[in-house]
Amino acid sequence: MPARPTSLTHWGGFSAEVSSGDIAAVTPLPGDDDPSPLLGNLPGSVRHRSRIAGPAIRRGWLDDGPGPSRRRGADEFVAVSWEELTDLLATELRRVVDTHGNEAIYGGSYGWASAGRFHHAQSQVHRFLKMLGGYTYSRHSYSLGATGVIMPRVVGTHDDLFKRSTDWDVIAARTDLLVCFGGLAMKNTGTNHGGTTAHPARDALRRFRGRGGRIVSFSPLRDDVDGECEWYAPVPGTDVAIMLGLAYVLATERLADRGFLETHCVGYDRFERYLLGADDGVAKSPQWAAAICGLPADEITALARRMAAQRTIVTVSWSLQRVRHGEQAPWLGLTLAAMLGQIGLPGGGFGHGYGSMNEPGLPPLRCGLPRLPQGINPVSTFIPVAAVSDMLLHPGETFDYNGMRLTYPDIRCVYWAGGNPFHHHQNIPRLRRALARVDTVVVHDPYWTAMAKHADIVVPSTTAFEREDYSGSKNDPVLMAMPKLVEPYADSRDDYTTFAALADRLGFGEQFTEGRTARQWLAHLYEKWSAELDFAVPTFEQFWRDGSLRLPTERGLTLLGDFRADPVAHRLGTPSGRIEIFSEDIAGFGYADCAGHPTWFEPTEWLGGERAATYPLHLVANQPATRLHGQLDGGSTSQSAKVVGREAIRMHPDDAAARGVADGDVVRVFNDRGACLAGAVIDDRLRRSVVQLPTGAWFDPADPADYDAMCVHGNPNVLTDDVGTSSLARGSTGAHVLVQVEKFSGPIPPVRAHEPPVIRQR
Ligand SMILES: Nc1nc2c(c(=O)[nH]1)N[C@H]1C(S)=C(S)[C@@H](COP(=O)(O)OP(=O)(O)OC[C@H]3O[C@@H](n4cnc5c(=O)[nH]c(N)nc54)[C@H](O)[C@@H]3O)O[C@H]1N2
Ligand SMILES: Nc1nc2c(c(=O)[nH]1)N[C@H]1C(S)=C(S)[C@@H](COP(=O)(O)OP(=O)(O)OC[C@H]3O[C@@H](n4cnc5c(=O)[nH]c(N)nc54)[C@H](O)[C@@H]3O)O[C@H]1N2
Ligand SMILES: [Mo]
């Protein structure tokens, strides 16, 4: 191995200094102009004390066998051998399948796991469970729960909105005005699912500003845009009202592009009746919007005129759809851009997710990527991913989803590899009760996350740095080799080896491995992929020696450019082939919470509603600047931002003063669902009555046996509501929640989130 081997994470490539079986130091790869600070979490992560050293079984499960249990999360564990683990797990899977059918296994396994496509945990677990005869699966993501359902219906795609979005270079060269709902948070552009080797957003914005480009940011946080911008801080959750106010000005001042609406869209007339108040008597005017969002009406009017006069992109961050009625903001953002008539023109039109992820604005590959074949799931039962607690708590009940009426299956075994529901799911006290109902919880993870602590069968995985793999991401031009940097920690194993042994015990070993080692799979998938390319690439051995391979990309894209040029030849995948400002299909579902055109619905968790009388602060639970989700929370970038060992909650000086809270105080954040401690940071770069507590502090209950205990570390998902966006998508609504904050007066409890549970030897 070279002295400083290179590898890759979701947030960037690096070269590593390796010593004593761990990563000692990392340096970003040359060519990355704006490396992610998250790289700072890597040193010391392989041998961190929160690693799972070996296979473990929960005491109660081992003694009493499978069954519902409220001891999950509070019990001790018993260390077992790999032999025993494989035996117990294979026997339990066989029992569940034989007694209850394959549908009784929930193999959703949502989560980001690590970069590296072969060992990608979801690919491995789903392939394994398919060969076992299938499993109940999940659709869509916590990232894009609402978008993933609404946008295919109204613009015929959702992932092309990011993967074939308008190139940063085009924005830098052609756009005059970027109107950003949810800002353009550079902290978020560090990451890309599958890995990333470059971060061009900041430089593109520098060039854009250098040409005189302007940024208008609607966001509760000033620092959602780095550097100069026109900052508007509306009441959180009111973007749809603001967009309606803007649309009203376009409609009534003859600024809407009637030609484009006529040739490329359907249903504008139906929407306009709503906009002008023809049916309900309520004109959605700037004055109407101002009363809801708290911004001056004349500024909304002035902005609408500017948008029509200039080359403008309307961009909507993903956070805006992770709220109740989250379908509306991206749909209305698209509608507003359609009214401006600039969709498909270079530097104009619509964006979704600039400032949410690295991928938007990056040119897509001109080719596919090596892929592990997945097979077909013989079970057709599924849930929208964020309905996991609903499903576990309500087997047999029916619910609406995307025009279908579905039934929750009766789950006996929850199988998780590569994700952390105690990071991603809302209302953790409810999640704990849901997990208590099943017979068996299986978790593969390298770390003792709260999810691993709630498992019955704990399977210690390796990290991406203890095995061989390669990257793969549609909007990254480099295929990176990921050599093994260090030997696997203690008795951990990669998920492939675990599943191969299980498959062998269950009688389909040969089918699962096809007789290949992991290294042979890497070579095989690479060779299969390269044989289908229309250009030459080096042999696998050569690629592995080179360490990386640059692939061709499609530069200079404009979102929907083809469709604009020829809406017939490039018809969209919607029923009409056009942008659906009114959707007959959605209207036909008759949902009270999602109409046939974009609509303002009052949220439940917002400052304008009744709930704010009891919980008067609007908590923004956004993505952490210091880590990816809960990953490597113990690392130094993450730890250095904690306050008294807790996650930092930002408060406006006035809100802090009103509560006698000073910078550096430990505070209690609470509502009727739960409570957590956090460390106060006083900052005037946020709107009054807004507090910000990012996700990702590992859940740490004061008393693990009490399912209502407060989290002493600052996980906002003890507070969030586990309710879907609407009957259409049932996406996660974790971005917003109303809370109250008080200075914490008791003795400050220790943070034990990163300590392993009690593990007995036999
Ligand atoms: N309140 C609120 N909640 C949110 C959000 C929000 O905005 N607000 N955002 C949501 C969003 S957008 C997302 S995407 C989710 C993210 O939720 P998750 O993706 O579930 O969060 P991660 O912490 O990335 O979990 C990945 C887990 O995989 C493990 N892992 C890494 N490599 C491997 C491997 O090789 N094998 C195995 N078996 N495991 C591995 C890591 O240790 C980690 O525990 O959170 C959601 N939750
Ligand atoms: N550093 C880091 N980057 C990440 C991640 C991470 O964990 N860490 N996670 C990645 C993942 S999986 C995803 S899906 C994306 C998510 O991307 P997003 O969902 O866009 O990310 P957030 O940080 O939750 O939200 C972006 C900003 O929207 C603003 N905002 C919140 N509510 C409102 C509102 O009602 N109105 C307006 N106008 N603005 C609002 C917040 O101030 C927030 O900072 O981020 C990705 N990037
Ligand atoms: Mo996400």
* pLDDT tier at 471, thresholds 50, 70, 90: very high
Confidence of residue 213 (pLDDT cuts 50, 70, 90): very high
pTM: 0.98
Say if CB 155 and CB 326 are below 8 A apart: no
Q: Is the CB of 183 under 6 A from ligand 2?
A: yes
Other CB atoms within 10 Å distance of the CB of residue 396 = 8
Residue 761 corresponds to which tokens in the numbers above? Answer: 């030897």
Q: Report the nearest atom of ligand 2 relative to the CA of 623.
A: 23
Instruction: Using the mean position of ligand 2's atoms as its centre, give its distance from the Cα of residue 204 in Å.
Output: 20
Ligand 2 mean position, distance from CA 705 (Å): 33
The tally of CA atoms less than 13 A away on the side-chain side of residue 98 is: 7
Q: How far is CA 355 from the centre of its chain?
A: 13
Residue nearest to atom 16 of ligand 1 (CA): 424
Of the residues 11, 39, 188, which should be mutated to test ligand 2's pocket, given the most ligand atoms within 8 Å of the CB? 188
Q: Does residue 271 sit in helix, strand or coil?
A: helix
Confidence at residue 98, expressed as pLDDT on a 0 to 100 scale = 98
Pick the ligand that lies closest to the CA of residue 223: 2
Query: Which residue has its alpha carbon closest to ligand 1 atom 47?
Result: 424
Nearest to 728 by CA among 573, 592, 558: 592
Is the model's pLDDT at 1 over the cut of 90? no
Strand partners, 550: 478
Distance 623 CA to ligand 2 centre (A): 5
C-alpha 418 – ligand 1 centre gap (Å) = 7
Q: Judge if the beta carbon of residue 237 lies within 6 A of ligand 2.
A: yes
Q: Which of 601, 707, 716 is nearest to 670 (CA)?
A: 716
CA angle 730, 559, 302 (to 5 degrees): 85
Kindly indicate the confidence band of residue 225, based on its pLDDT and cuts at 50, 70 and 90. very high
Q: What is the pLDDT of residues 497-527, one digit of tens each?
A: 999 999 999 999 999 999 999 999 999 999 9
What percent of the chain has a predicted confidence (pLDDT) above 90? 99
Q: To test the ligand 2 pocket, which listed residue (142, 216, 218, 356) has its Cβ within 8 A of the most ligand atoms?
A: 356
Residues 66-94: tens digit of each pLDDT = 999 999 999 999 999 999 999 999 999 99
Residue 762 pLDDT level (bands cut at 50, 70, 90): confident
Whose alpha carbon is nearest atom 14 of ligand 1?
143
For residue 622, the CA-to-ligand 2 centroid distance in Å is 5
In the set 11, 112, 274, 489, the catalytic residue is 112
Q: How far apart are CA 239 and CA 250, in angstroms?
A: 17
Cα 359 from Cα 355, distance rounded (Å): 9
- Please enumerate in sequence order all residues whose Cβ is within 8 A of that of 587, keeping only pairs 6 or more positions apart, or say none: 595, 596, 597
- Mean pLDDT value of segment 456-479: 97
110 among known catalytic residues: yes
Q: Give nearest CA residue, ligand 2 atom 19.
A: 319
Q: What is the pLDDT of residue 703?
A: 98
Pick the atom of ligand 2 nearest to 217's CA. 38
Longest dimension (CA), the chain: 79
pLDDT of amino acid 761: 95
**Which of 144, 469, 631 maximizes ligand 1 atoms within 8 Å of its Cβ, making it the mutation to test the pocket?**
631
Question: Which atom of ligand 2 is closest in space to residue 621's alpha carbon?
Answer: 24
How does pLDDT run across 389-437, given as a tens digit for each residue? 999 999 999 999 999 999 999 999 999 999 999 999 999 999 999 999 9
- How far does residue 670's CA lie from ligand 1's centre (Å)? 24
Q: Is the CB of 477 under 6 A from ligand 2?
A: no
User: 715 CA distance to ligand 3 centroid (A)?
Assistant: 16
Atom 39, ligand 2: which residue's CA is nearest? 182
Domains parsed from the chain with CATH numbers: 4-39 (no CATH), 54-140+366-548 (3.40.50.740), 144-363+578-587 (3.40.228.10), 608-741 (2.40.40.20)
605 C-beta closer than 6 A to ligand 2: no
Residue nearest to atom 30 of ligand 2 (CA): 182
Ligand nearest to the CA of 142: 1
Which residue lies with its CA nearest to atom 25 of ligand 1? 419
Residue 3 has pLDDT above 80, yes or no: no
Measured in Å, residue 155 CA sits from the centre of ligand 3 at: 21
Out of 11, 61, 106, 110, which one is annotated catalytic?
110
- Checking if the pLDDT of 200 tops 60, the result is yes
Q: Which residue has the least CA distance to atom 13 on ligand 2?
A: 143
Beta bridge partners of 620: 692, 736
Give the tens place of pLDDT for each residue, 135-167. Answer: 999 999 999 999 999 999 999 999 999 999 999
Question: Do residues 400 and 157 make contact, with C-beta atoms less than 8 angstroms apart?
Answer: no
Are 648 and 678 spatial neighbours (Cβ–Cβ below 8 Å)? Answer: yes
pLDDT tens-digit readout, 103-143: 999 999 999 999 999 999 999 999 999 999 999 999 999 99
451 CA distance to ligand 1 middle (Å) = 11
* 3-class DSSP state of 536: coil
Which of ligand 2's atoms lies nearest the C-alpha of 38? 1
Cα atoms found within 13 Å of the Cα of residue 91, Cβ hemisphere only: 10
Nearest atom in ligand 2 to 736's CA: 32
Residues with CB under 6 A from ligand 1: 111-114, 119, 121, 142-143, 322, 417-420, 423-424, 444-447, 449, 461, 463, 495, 621-623, 628-631, 695, 716-717, 720, 734-735
How far apart, in whole angstroms, are the C-alpha atoms of residue 195 and residue 200? 14
Q: Probe ligand 1: pick from 10, 112, 193, 498, max atoms within 8 Å of CB?
A: 112
Closest CA relative to residue 57, chosen from 74, 70, 76, 71: 76
Q: What 3-state class would DSSP assign to 509? A: helix
> Does an H or E element contain 530, and which?
helix 518-531
Give the residue from 552, 582, 581, 558 showing the smallest Cα distance to 570.
558
Burial state string for 660-683 with b = 16 or more CB within 10 A and e = fewer than 16? ebeeebbbbbbbebbbbbbbbbbb
How deeply is 146 buried, as exposed, middle or buried, from its count of CB atoms within 10 A (0-12, 13-18, 19+)?
Answer: buried
The dihedral built from the CA positions of residue 625, 628, 631 and 637, taken in this order, carries a sign that is negative
Question: What spacing in Å lies between the alpha carbon of 138 and ligand 3's midpoint?
Answer: 15
HSE-up of 729 (CA within 13 Å, CB side)?
A: 28
Structure-block tokens of residue 553: 């990309």
556: closest CA among 192, 159, 184, 164? Answer: 164
Confidence of residue 206 (pLDDT cuts 50, 70, 90): very high
pLDDT band at 2 (very low <50, low <70, confident <90, very high): low
What atom of ligand 1 comes closest to residue 114's alpha carbon? 32
pLDDT at 170: 98
Q: Which amino acid is at 453?
A: K
* % pLDDT > 70, the chain: 100
Among all ligands shown, which has an atom nearest to the Cα of 388? 1
List C-alpha distances in Å: 184 to 14, 181, 313, 622, 641. Answer: 25, 8, 12, 13, 22
Of all atoms in ligand 1, which is nearest to the CA of residue 112?
19
Hey, how many other C-beta atoms are within 10 angstroms of the C-beta on 759?
16
Q: How far apart are CA 422 and CA 732, in angstroms?
A: 14
Q: Across the chain, what does the average pLDDT equal?
A: 97
What residues are paired with 383 via a beta bridge? 138
User: Taking each helix axis from N to C terminus, what angle separates 495-506 and 82-100, rounded to the nearest 10 degrees?
Assistant: 60
Q: Whose Cα sits closest to atom 15 in ligand 2?
A: 356
- Tell me the three state secondary structure of residue 344: coil
Please, are residues 454 and 432 in contact by the beta-carbon 8 Å criterion? yes
